[in-house]
Amino acid sequence: MNAARTTEVVVIGGGQAGLAMSRCLADRSVDHVVLERGEVANSWTTERWDSLRLLTPNWMSRLPGFTYQGKDPDGYMTAGEVAAHLECYRQSFDAPVRTGVTVTRIVSGESHDDGHRVETTDGPWDAEAVVMATGACSNPHVPAIAADLPDHIEQITPIAYRNPSGVADGRVLVVGASASGLQIADELTRAGRDVVLAVGDHVRLPRTYRGMDIHWWMDVVGLLDERYDEVEDLARARRLPSLQLVGSPERRTLGLDTVQEHGVQLVGRLVGRSGDRAQFSGSLANYCTSADLKQGRLLDQLDEYAAEHGLDTELGPADRPAPTPLGPPVLDMDLRDVGTIVWATGFRPQYPWLDEAHLDARGRLIHDGGVLSVPGMYVLGLPFMRRRKSSFIDGVGPDAVELADHLLAHLHRMATLRPA
């Protein structure tokens, strides 16, 4: 058994969030270590499909002390390019990353100085503070109905999907029409596969509006910087499905209408199974109407901003996307025709090393803007954690700066309490 090493801060996770925090800690001369279970940017290299690109334009990959280094600021990086971007970042300040180290347990308040003992596959660390930066997408969420489906169907999540040729023969039922589900359904149908897409709550928006990228808009009108203590219904905002977008060189819009045009059959939410038949909800039309209304409100907000800032002459016309045409509802389907189900039904972060006391009744981490109730424990990278863009690459930086300051104050407090 290794003797415990000591440091001021343990950062768990060597992706954009962990590295951003590492940079902030280095800037504040805080001694720390970054523990990464794989290699830097592990999720980007091991858990993403081949064609995946960022949803956000490359210039929106700003990190503390670092910006996009490539030649295509308005383009969308591939997963591999993101990994390279992050590796460059790590090297730029020689981040103290230990790779191949998995955290197994955190015990707080028992070691000396009321700090935290972080147990790992490489031996324990004692630290005054811990920052969990392992991302929001560790665990694909698969609904309970999955257990009730016929054995002949291969069930996968986006984490296991790589490309169309890796998907078993037969009809593919993609469940979930947010970014992942829509992109996968789109790729499969373009590869000539028979695809059915089960649609529930979703957020529709165009890739570009009046000639400008939608993320440029959301950034410039201040939406992405909206703070968690300013928004009306935070729980709802944090649950918002991922935007129906894709990053592509052609800047194409991805939506239910576009995939339907390319052959995908749209059905309502998968809500049950009766014998050989899958049952779909009759509520598809309402979800589509709701998404269209929400899109309209966003575009109205953008038009208002343009008018207020005298941009109307420079921007294109305010053309609004048409509602998705829906045929008569398809309420059920023969499961014997289905070869694969892709559960694009969301992700949950997971903290297997953490005591259940840190989790609420539904298994979610209890925190206030990334600050846990146990002194000296922090989390980064969750949706709308401190601001709307908290889970974006471009959002971890500002969050890391604020939490690093909070953490620094914690360290100073601990130092004053320590006997001389």
Partner 1 sequence: MSIIESATVDNGVNVEALLGAREALTAAPPAGQFVFSATNEWISGTHSRTTVDRFFGLGTEQAHRQPYSVETDHPEIFAAADNGPTPPEMMLMGLAGCLTAGVASVAQNRGIQLRSVKATVEGNLDIAGILGIDPEVRNGYSGITVRYEIDADASREEIQAVVAQSQKRSAVYDVITNPTGVVVEVA
Q: Which residues bind partner 1 (CB under 8 A)?
A: 268-269, 271-272, 274, 279, 281-283, 286, 289-290, 293, 296-297, 328-329, 361
When the beta carbons of 43 and 345 are compared against partner 1, the nearer one is 345
When the beta carbons of 226 and 292 are compared against partner 1, the nearer one is 292
Residue 328 beta carbon to partner 1: minimum distance, rounded to whole angstroms = 7
Residue 69 beta carbon to partner 1: minimum distance, rounded to whole angstroms = 43
Contact 35, 10 (CB under 8 A): yes
**Helix residue spans in 68-116 (DSSP H):** 79-92
When the beta carbons of 15 and 200 are compared against partner 1, the nearer one is 200
Residue 293 beta carbon to partner 1: minimum distance, rounded to whole angstroms = 5
Residue 55 beta carbon to partner 1: minimum distance, rounded to whole angstroms = 25
When the beta carbons of 2 and 274 are compared against partner 1, the nearer one is 274
Angle in degrees, CA 171, 332, 341, rounded to 5: 35
Q: What phi, psi does 271 have (nearest 5°)?
A: -120, -5
Would you call 57 exposed, middle or buried from its count of C-beta atoms within 10 A (0-12, 13-18, 19+)?
A: buried
| Integer Cα distance of 216 and 214 in angstroms | 5
Which residue type, as a one-letter code, is found at position 208? T
| Integer Cα distance of 370 and 376 in angstroms | 11
Two structure tokens written together for 6: 């000591």
Residue 279 beta carbon to partner 1: minimum distance, rounded to whole angstroms = 5
The dihedral sign for the CA sequence 381, 382, 383, 387: negative
Would you call 80 exposed, middle or buried from its count of C-beta atoms within 10 A (0-12, 13-18, 19+)?
A: middle
Which residue type, as a one-letter code, is found at position 99? T
Residue 282 beta carbon to partner 1: minimum distance, rounded to whole angstroms = 4
User: Looking at residue 246, what DSSP letter applies?
Assistant: -
Residue 329 beta carbon to partner 1: minimum distance, rounded to whole angstroms = 7
When the beta carbons of 357 and 361 are compared against partner 1, the nearer one is 361
| Integer Cα distance of 38 and 16 in angstroms | 14
When the beta carbons of 27 and 300 are compared against partner 1, the nearer one is 300
When the beta carbons of 84 and 203 are compared against partner 1, the nearer one is 203
Residue 213 beta carbon to partner 1: minimum distance, rounded to whole angstroms = 25
Q: What phi, psi does 312 have (nearest 5°)?
A: -60, -35
Which residue type, as a one-letter code, is found at position 49? W
When the beta carbons of 108 and 281 are compared against partner 1, the nearer one is 281
